[in-house]
């Protein structure tokens, strides 16, 4: 079993830095030990899955918790260019970095809008904190609604992302206040569960994945310090190793269009049913998350294979840039592709034919690499989830040192093992 969407654009870098080193005893989680999340030390054995705490909307505070003097709550208007610029600048200066500060995310407004203005979004979930005098935006948290299925139960939850506190205000317990506020707003809407990912260890991951990277433009990755030259190798050899064909190879492959949305949702729903945890997409959501928009910079690429009028395969990837920083100066950007959802009839045949699935996924992902390279992306990232173990090795992805932990808020679930380590050995 595997899971889920690697949507949390935020955590690629924290992931690189984490690997469990942040774990502490339960008692040391002063905030998290007060929250409805499973505790460390209670793992093992099968538990009954479901909400940890039941509440009523009438009992939820109508007003936010007051902030310390000098700060005030605001909701940001991401449709407004000025507000968008402020969120963009806060995140770019203060969001997730790698340990050596070599790369910093460059979240262009197109990506922020895609991630935070998904179907069902409401402005009240774009929560900011301003310094009262300077009016400066100093902290932010956001959520979009998602229907998440864990095994055979589906529930609505708030998918929380872009939690960020200005570097000068760190360590002042502002993050718990932001988390409580997004919880309160969700609760007033009758939403009692949350979904989030982080590179750091918190009580208590429902699943943990590893990052894998596949060079598309090795020369650039090497020049900026992302890819080392392996001992005994030569640059020409690395370039040859990662070379890709000029054209895709799958017959019937084409860009996804609006007319494909229904077929893609049906195929994806059947495919995702094979995993223990997955979002459930409506057509409106699939249109938002998958259909490439041609105005502005492209964020998402999606392709289908059409065979005799039927959609038999689907894959998608999105791009988030990272600034390459040298001597505190931004010299260039790394264009990073992230494998998003995919589905194929090859995984759905009865009886299950793993060899056929492996062959098909390798062909599709190889085409994804070709298309990402054509789009001038520099590296292709994927996580150890879904059926990725069937192609990561063959497609020359290398394991990164980062992990990504998946969390559920107010929902107790048995551990879900990642696709690669469990069944799909590389
Ligand atoms: S993950 C990305 C998080 N952002 C970054 O890493 C950007 C760079 N870092 C920062 O901006 C700050 O360091 C942050 C913490 C804001 C992260 N998730 O205010 P503090 C706990 C959850 O003194 P600061 C993403 O966006 C920490 O363990 N908790 O700390 C998903 C401690 O609690 P405890 C975290 O460093 C976010 C407390 O905060 C995280 O100034 C999902 C310290 O607070 C973290 N990533 O600020 C949020 N980092 O004492 C949860 C630290 O117990 C959503 N902490 O150890 C839950 C679901 C809610 C919806 C429910 C609906 C019903």
Q: In the chain, what percentage of residues exceed pLDDT 70?
A: 92
CA of 200 to the centre of ligand 1 (A): 9
Query: Do the Cβ atoms of 149 and 280 come closer than 8 Å?
Result: yes
Q: Which of 5, 59, 141, 175 to mutate to test the pocket of ligand 1 (most atoms within 8 A of CB)?
A: 175
Smallest CA-to-CA distance from 113 within 387, 298, 368, 343 is with 298
CA of 33 from ligand 1 middle (Å) equals 14
Q: Residues with Cβ < 8 Å from 236, sequence gap 6 or more?
A: none
CA pair distance 195, 112, nearest whole angstrom? 18
Write the CA distances from 158 to 58, 110, 179, 213, integer angstroms.
19, 21, 11, 29
User: What confidence category does residue 100 fall into, taking pLDDT thresholds of 50, 70 and 90?
Assistant: confident
Mean of all residue pLDDT scores within the chain: 91
pLDDT band at 23 (very low <50, low <70, confident <90, very high): low
The pLDDT value recorded for residue 16 is 33
- Helix axes 283-290 and 261-272, enclosed angle (nearest 10): 100
Q: Is 2 helix (H, G, I), strand (E, B) or coil?
A: coil
| CB of 162 closer than 6 angstroms to any ligand 1 atom | yes
Select from 16, 163, 402, 405 the residue to mutate for testing ligand 1; criterion: most ligand atoms less than 8 Å from CB. Answer: 163
Condensed to tens digits (0 to 9), the pLDDT of residues 376-394 reads 999 999 999 999 999 999 9
B/e letters for 388-411, b = 16+ CB within 10 Å, e = fewer, are bbbbbeebbbeeeebbbbbbbbbb
- The confidence score (pLDDT) of residue 134 equals 97
Q: Is the CB of 191 under 6 A from ligand 1?
A: yes
Residue 151 has pLDDT above 90, yes or no: yes
Alpha-carbon span 112 to 91, nearest angstrom = 10
pLDDT of residue 19: 39
- How confident is the model at residue 340, as a pLDDT? 98
Q: Could you tell me if the CB of 354 is within 6 A of ligand 1?
A: no
Region 38-60: mean pLDDT is: 92
**What secondary structure letter does DSSP report for 75?**
E
State how far the Cα of 422 lies from the Cα of 426, in Å rounded to an integer. Answer: 10
pLDDT of residue 327: 65
Nearest CA, atom 3, ligand 1: 163
Mean pLDDT for 307-320 is 97
Residue 153 in contact with residue 50, Cβ under 8 Å?
Answer: yes
d(CA 314, CA 408): 28
Distance from residue 166's CA to the centre of ligand 1 (Å): 12
Mean pLDDT across 43-71: 95
Does residue 14 have its Cβ closer than 6 Å to ligand 1? yes
306 φ, ψ (degrees, to nearest 5): -105, 130
Q: Which residues pair with 106 in a beta bridge?
A: 321
DSSP-based three-state secondary structure for 400 = strand
On the question of pLDDT at 95 being above 80, the answer is yes
* High-pLDDT (> 90) share of the chain, %: 79
What ipTM was reported for this prediction? 0.99
pLDDT of res. 25? 84
CA of 419 to the centre of ligand 1 (A): 27
Expressed in angstroms and rounded, the spacing between residue 25 Cα and the centre of ligand 1 is 17
Q: Evaluate if residue 2 carries a pLDDT over 80.
A: no
Q: Is the distance from the beta carbon of residue 31 to the nearest atom of ligand 1 less than 6 Å?
A: yes
Q: What whole-number distance in Å separates Cα of residue 185 and Cα of residue 125?
A: 7
pLDDT at 353 over 60: yes
Q: Quick one: pLDDT at residue 9? A: 34
Find the mean pLDDT for residues 235-245: 97
- Which pLDDT score, from 0 to 100, does residue 422 have? 37
What pLDDT was estimated at residue 13? 33
Q: Which of 7, 198, 411 to mutate to test the pocket of ligand 1 (most atoms within 8 A of CB)?
A: 198
- d(CA 123, CA 78) in angstroms, rounded, equals 8
Alpha-carbon gap, residue 7 to 422, rounded angstroms: 22
pLDDT at position 420: 54
| pLDDT for the residue 402 | 78
In this predicted model, which residue has the larger pLDDT, 69 or 13? 69
Query: What pLDDT sits at residue 326?
Result: 75
Q: pLDDT by residue (tens digit) across 247-288? A: 999 999 999 999 999 999 999 999 999 999 999 999 999 999
Residue 369 confidence (pLDDT) above 60: yes
């Amino acid at each position: 079993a595997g899971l889920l969407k690697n949507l949390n654009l935020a955590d690629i870098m924290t992931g690189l830095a984490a690997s469990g080193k942040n774990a502490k005893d339960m008692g040391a989680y002063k905030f998290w030990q007060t929250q409805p999340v499973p505790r460390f030390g209670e793992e093992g054995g099968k538990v009954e899955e479901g909400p940890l705490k039941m509440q009523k909307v009438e009992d939820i505070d109508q007003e936010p918790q007051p902030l310390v003097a000098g700060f005030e709550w605001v909701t940001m208007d991401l449709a407004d260019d000025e507000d968008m610029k402020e969120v963009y600048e806060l995140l770019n200066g203060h969001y997730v970095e790698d340990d050596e500060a070599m790369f910093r995310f460059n979240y262009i407004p197109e990506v922020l809008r895609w991630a935070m203005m998904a179907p069902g979004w409401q402005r009240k979930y774009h929560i900011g904190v301003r310094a009262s005098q300077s009016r400066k935006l100093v902290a932010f948290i956001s959520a979009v609604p998602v229907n998440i299925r864990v095994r055979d139960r589906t529930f609505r939850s708030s998918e929380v992302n872009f939690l960020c506190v200005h570097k000068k205000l760190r360590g002042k317990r502002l993050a718990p206040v932001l988390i409580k506020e997004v919880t309160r707003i969700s609760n007033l809407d009758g939403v009692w569960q949350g979904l989030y990912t982080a590179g750091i260890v918190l009580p208590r991951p429902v699943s943990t994945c590893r990052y894998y990277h596949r060079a598309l433009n090795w020369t650039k990755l090497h020049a900026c310090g992302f890819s080392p030259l392996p001992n005994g190798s030569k640059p020409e050899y690395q370039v040859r190793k990662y070379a890709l064909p000029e054209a895709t190879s799958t017959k019937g492959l084409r860009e996804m269009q609006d007319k494909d949305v229904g077929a893609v949702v049906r195929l994806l729903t059947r495919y995702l049913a094979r995993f223990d945890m997955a979002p459930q997409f409506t057509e409106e959501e699939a249109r938002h998350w998958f259909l490439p928009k041609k105005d502005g910079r492209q964020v998402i690429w999606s392709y289908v294979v059409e065979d005799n009028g039927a959609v038999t395969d689907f894959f998608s990837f999105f791009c988030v840039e990272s600034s390459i920083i040298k001597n505190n100066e931004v010299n260039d950007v790394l264009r990073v592709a992230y494998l998003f959802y995919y589905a194929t009839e090859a995984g759905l045949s009865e009886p299950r034919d793993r060899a056929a699935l492996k062959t098909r996924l390798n062909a599709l992902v190889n085409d994804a690499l070709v298309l990402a390279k054509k789009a001038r992306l520099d590296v292709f990232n994927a996580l150890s989830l879904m059926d990725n173990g069937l192609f990561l090795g063959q497609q020359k992805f290398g394991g990164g040192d980062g992990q990504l932990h998946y969390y559920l808020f107010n929902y107790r679930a048995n551990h879900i093992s990642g696709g690669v380590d469990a069944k799909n050995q590389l």
